[in-house]
């Protein structure tokens, strides 16, 4: 498989190559974390670092199965270190090592090294781990290919790419890197299904979890199929009651959501009270980390339904480093409140602005907002519908980074 340079992430990580912090790359399985580690390693060698001073361990490689304990990993790494010069240590899928945070803390304190680790758990730096690693690490969240990366990869393989056509494929099947190796939709779907169920089996349905695979899968499939829609435990209870299916207690619903979030399958989004200018405490929506996971649980895309476009835009915004909320006004809501430090903007997402009613609905959503922050409507239209100080941006141009948003 050919590889593109994932500059969006490398540019964020590069300043920390020689900083005394543990570099932690988290993200869903098969999103490209291992390749990113390889690209970091290649950059270091390109800058003159001796390859003998780079130590790599992939804990999903059977060759390293016997060092999945802190003591054995400690012994293995120290045996590899032959002198007092700096070593660069790469530990891939480190969550397979029990109490890995202890050995990482030890390496950082006792060795002349720069540590890079990956994990498929979004909360690997929470709880007890956080107390040991606080102030000692920096996290970088890695996502599947963005739309621009997907276009770049396809061009690298020799394909002619029309972004206005590619967007429909991307809406359907998302950006898991390996899925672009397949031509037939049946093969793409089979690969995404295999990846999705593999994540559930490896990261969620474990002996310790005591979770029913059948029950959890039904729940997860429902959440994926409804990603981007308003969420409530009552909706789930009502749905499964109507289907004469599984019964879900409220505690189980939120426990299962937490497991999906930990496995990096979803991102949970809170509401932002626009008048009060603060984030609200409860979670309002979930978005799939990749629209391919949503597609395999719906089996078709209604392009008039903007939830897939919202999902893509949400993933793009967080991968660019923004905080993103859904917006609450006294009359209704705005799709996204995008925040960077003290700056923000507001965004509405539409498929096509094909009627005066649609235009009024999307641009009118900002009417209750007195905040002077920039406001945008993003859609697939090529005609510029900007009006009344509200910008209109073509979604494809935004995803290709040909047009951008301003925050203030």
Specify whether 84 is located in the same domain as 200: no
Does 281 score more than 60 pLDDT? no
CA distance 275 to 260: 32
CA distance 234 to 231: 9
pLDDT above 90 covers what percent of the chain? 81
pLDDT, position 283:
63
CA distance 22 to 105: 9
CA distance 311 to 289: 8
Specify whether 137 is located in the same domain as 154: no
CB 366 within 8 A of CB 332: no
Specify whether 261 is located in the same domain as 343: yes
CA distance 332 to 344: 19
Specify whether 190 is located in the same domain as 261: yes
Specify whether 257 is located in the same domain as 353: yes
Q: Is 68 helix (H, G, I), strand (E, B) or coil?
A: coil
Assess if residue 244 is contained within a domain: yes
- Number of continuous H segments (helices) and E segments (strands) in the chain: 15, 12
Assess if residue 2 is contained within a domain: no
CA distance 190 to 405: 36
Does 368 score more than 70 pLDDT? yes
The pLDDT of 280-291, averaged and rounded, is 83
> Where does a domain end: 141, 175, 202?
141
**Most confident range, picked from 2-11, 202-211, 227-236, 297-306:** 2-11
Specify whether 205 is located in the same domain as 344: yes
CA distance 112 to 117: 16
Specify whether 213 is located in the same domain as 124: no
> Where does a domain end: 104, 119, 141?
141
pLDDT above 70 covers what percent of the chain? 95
Q: Tens digits of per-residue pLDDT, 80-126?
A: 999 999 999 999 999 999 999 999 999 999 999 999 999 998 888 77
What is the pLDDT confidence band of residue 190, given thresholds at 50, 70 and 90?
very high
CB 143 within 8 A of CB 260: no
What is the domain count for the chain? 2
The whole-angstrom distance between residue 223's C-alpha and the CA centroid of its chain comes to: 16
CA distance 179 to 181: 5
The pLDDT of 57-73, averaged and rounded, is 97
Assess if residue 256 is contained within a domain: yes
Specify whether 180 is located in the same domain as 135: no
pLDDT, position 326:
94
Q: CB-based contacts of 103: which residues, under 8 Å, 6+ apart? A: 70, 73, 74, 97
Specify whether 162 is located in the same domain as 217: yes
Gyration radius of the chain's alpha carbons: 22
Does 302 score more than 80 pLDDT? no
Assess if residue 1 is contained within a domain: no
The pLDDT of 121-136, averaged and rounded, is 78
Q: Is 355 exposed, middle or buried (0-12, 13-18, 19+ CB in 10 A)?
A: exposed
CA distance 105 to 107: 6
**What count of Cα atoms within 13 Å lies in the side-chain half-sphere of residue 195?**
27
Assess if residue 33 is contained within a domain: yes
Assess if residue 379 is contained within a domain: yes
Average predicted confidence (pLDDT) for the chain: 93
Assess if residue 394 is contained within a domain: yes
The pLDDT of 14-41, averaged and rounded, is 98
The pLDDT of 282-287, averaged and rounded, is 82
The pLDDT of 168-193, averaged and rounded, is 97
pLDDT, position 132:
78
Assess if residue 272 is contained within a domain: yes
CA distance 118 to 136: 15
Among 222-236, 248-262, 265-279, where is mean pLDDT lowest?
265-279
Specify whether 183 is located in the same domain as 257: yes
Q: Is the dihedral of CA 61, 65, 67, 70 positive or negative?
A: positive
Specify whether 208 is located in the same domain as 316: yes
Q: Is the dihedral of CA 142, 145, 147, 149 positive or negative?
A: positive
Q: In terms of pLDDT, which residue wins out, 211 or 355?
A: 355
CA distance 137 to 24: 7
CA distance 313 to 323: 13
Among 97-101, 272-276, 318-322, 339-343, where is mean pLDDT lowest?
272-276
Domain that holds residue 262: 148-399
Strand partners, 390: 387
pLDDT, position 130:
66
Name the percent of the chain in helix, strand, coil, to the closest 5. Answer: 45, 20, 35
Specify whether 199 is located in the same domain as 112: no
pLDDT, position 324:
97
> Where does a domain end: 107, 125, 141?
141
- CATH number of the domain that 43 lies in? 3.40.50.300
């Amino acid at each position: 498989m050919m590889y593109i340079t994932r500059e969006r992430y490398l540019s964020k990580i590069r300043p920390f190559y020689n900083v005394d912090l543990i570099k932690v790359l988290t993200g869903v399985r098969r999103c490209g974390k291992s390749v990113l580690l390889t690209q970091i390693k290649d950059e270091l060698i390109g800058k003159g670092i001796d390859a003998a001073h780079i130590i790599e361990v992939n804990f999903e490689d059977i060759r390293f199965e016997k060092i999945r304990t802190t003591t054995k990993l400690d012994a293995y790494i120290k045996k590899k270190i032959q002198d007092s010069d700096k070593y660069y240590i790469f530990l891939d899928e480190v969550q397979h090592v029990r109490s890995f945070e202890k050995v990482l803390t030890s390496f950082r304190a006792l060795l002349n090294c720069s540590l890079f680790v990956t994990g498929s758990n979004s909360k690997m730096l929470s709880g007890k781990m956080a107390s040991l690693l606080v102030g000692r690490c920096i996290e970088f969240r890695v996502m599947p290919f963005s739309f621009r990366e997907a276009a770049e990869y396809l061009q690298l393989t020799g394909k002619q790419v029309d972004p206005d056509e590619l967007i429909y494929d991307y809406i359907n099947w998302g950006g898991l890197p390996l899925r672009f190796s397949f031509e037939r939709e049946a093969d793409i779907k089979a690969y995404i299904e295999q990846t999705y169920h593999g994540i559930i089996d490896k990261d969620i349905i474990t002996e310790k979890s005591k979770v029913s695979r059948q029950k959890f899968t039904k729940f997860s499939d429902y959440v994926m199929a409804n990603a981007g829609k308003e969420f409530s435990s009552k909706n789930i209870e009502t749905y499964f009651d109507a289907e004469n299916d599984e019964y879900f207690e409220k505690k189980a619903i939120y426990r299962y959501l937490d497991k999906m979030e930990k496995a990096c399958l979803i991102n949970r989004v809170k509401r932002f009270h626009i008048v009060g200018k603060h984030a609200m405490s409860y979670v309002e929506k979930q978005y799939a980390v990749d629209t391919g996971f949503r597609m395999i649980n719906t089996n078709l895309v209604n392009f008039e339904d903007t939830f897939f476009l919202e999902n893509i835009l949400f993933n793009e915004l967080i991968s660019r480093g923004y905080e993103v909320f859904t917006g609450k006004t006294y009359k209704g809501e705005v799709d996204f409140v995008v925040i960077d430090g003290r700056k923000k903007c507001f965004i509405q997402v539409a498929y096509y602005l094909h009627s005066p009613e649609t235009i009024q609905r999307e641009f009118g959503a900002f009417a209750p907002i007195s905040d002077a922050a920039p406001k945008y409507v993003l859609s697939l239209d090529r005609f510029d519908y900007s009006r009344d100080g509200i910008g209109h941006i073509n979604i494809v141009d935004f995803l290709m980074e040909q047009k951008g948003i301003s925050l203030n």
